[in-house]
């Protein structure tokens, strides 16, 4: 018996000591216990909205990027 994380591709790598041949495989899926993605995103957005971080306009960000790119030459 071993524990694995099932990725989006639904593939699981078996340990090397598992011999080749016919096998019976039992999958027990644990219910998700963490918060949902949308909930986490909303919490992050709420935190940003109430933070004291300085805000920059699109134009300020574009200018900073242009200055940085020009410094590469």
pTM, two decimals, is 0.35
Q: Encode 4-62 in three state secondary structure.
A: CCCCCCCCCCCCCCCCCCCCCCCCCCCCCCCCCHHHHHHHHHHHHHHCCCCCCCHHHHH
For 72, the 3-state DSSP assignment is coil
Q: What gap in Å lies between CA 24 and CA 3, rounded to an integer?
A: 16
pLDDT number for residue 15: 86
Q: What gap in Å lies between CA 10 and CA 44, rounded to an integer?
A: 29
Segment 2-58, tens digit of pLDDT: 888 888 898 888 888 889 999 898 888 887 777 788 888 999 999 988 988 888 999
More confident residue, 30 or 73: 30
């Amino acid at each position: 018996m071993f524990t694995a994380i099932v990725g989006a591709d639904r593939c699981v790598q078996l340990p090397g000591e598992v011999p080749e041949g016919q096998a019976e495989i039992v999958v027990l899926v644990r219910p998700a216990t963490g918060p949902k993605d949308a909930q986490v995103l909303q919490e992050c957005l709420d935190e940003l909205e109430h933070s004291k971080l300085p805000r920059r306009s699109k134009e300020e960000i574009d200018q900073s990027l242009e200055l940085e790119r020009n410094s590469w030459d």
